[in-house]
A and B are shown apart, each in its own frame.
Chain A
Amino acid sequence: GQNIDQPTEMTATEGAIVQINCTYQTSGFNGLFWYQQHAGEAPTFLSYNVLDGLEEKGRFSSFLSRSKGYSYLLLKELQMKDSASYLCAVLDSNYQLIWGAGTKLIIKP
């Protein structure tokens, strides 16, 4: 079966750095997405990785290792507004998105 694992909840301090991990086992791979979802709102796109390595975009970076079936989202200089759920999703061989359950990130002052 297809499976995506990420921690259920994480807590971090304002101004700090946090890394959210995601491991996946899917039938085929056509890229990995990270989305941010605030409570009661639809997901918004953060990043897309299809090749191994680190993609940096401002305070957010995303890393991918296809051989290990592993990705992480790195958030720097955390702000209170970063409190949200972060969803990892993999595009499988049928170009269908397989979603993780999401990681709820709590930022404390």
Chain B
Amino acid sequence: GAVVSQHPSRVICKSGTSVKIECRSLDFQATTMFWYRQFPKQSLMLMATSNEGSKATYEQGVEKDKFLINHASLTLSTLTVTSAHPEDSSFYICSARDSGSSYNEQFFGPGTRLTVL
């Protein structure tokens, strides 16, 4: 199956700093990528939909100035958590939809665990 990588897998940072998370589709092109956040024992919460070459679409309640998304190529999307605070500590997961597939399946990255001290 298609592979999506995510980097870093784990990051610990101080409050007030910014953290960038990369999501790459390794063997397929992804016009659309998705960013999710998951708190312990809860389901995935969609944060934003990232479209290559255009602005991301944010879900209600997600601050676009705090969670900056860039999807500059068909294989790379980045999420930057700006001025991170302890409440931003969570498991961030990206997924990518294969542009060449009609299956509509989303392939998930392994996730990034962010801890803000």
Q: Are B108 and A101 in contact (CB under 8 A)?
A: no
Residues of A near B103 (CB, < 8 A) are 48
User: Does the CB pair B43–A91 fall under 8 Å?
Assistant: no
Chain A proximity of B35: nearest CB distance (Å):
12
Q: Number of B residues contacting the other chain (C-beta, 8 Å)?
A: 21
Q: Chain A: interface secondary structure?
A: loop
Alpha-carbon distance A33/B107, docked complex (angstroms): 12
Q: Which chain A residue lies CB-closest to B42?
A: A101
Whether, in the assembled complex, A43 has its beta carbon less than 8 Å from a beta carbon of chain B, the answer is: yes
Partner pick for B93 among A42, A45, A91, A101, CB 8 A cutoff: A42
A42 and B109 form a contact (CB under 8 A): yes
- Of B6, B91, B104, B113, the residue contacting A30 (CB under 8 A) is B104
Contacting pair B104 A91 (CB below 8 A): yes
Partner of A101, one of B43, B104, B109, B113: B43
Q: How far is B49's CA from A97's CA once the two chains are assembled, in angstroms?
A: 11
- B1-45 interface with A by 8 A CB criterion: 1, 6, 34, 42-45
B105 within 8 A of partner (CB) = yes
CA–CA, A31 and B49, complex, Å:
19
Could you say which residues of chain B place their CB within 8 Å of the CB of A97? Answer: 34, 46, 106
Query: Contact residues of B with A, CB < 8 Å?
Result: 1, 6, 34, 42-46, 49, 91, 93, 103-111, 113
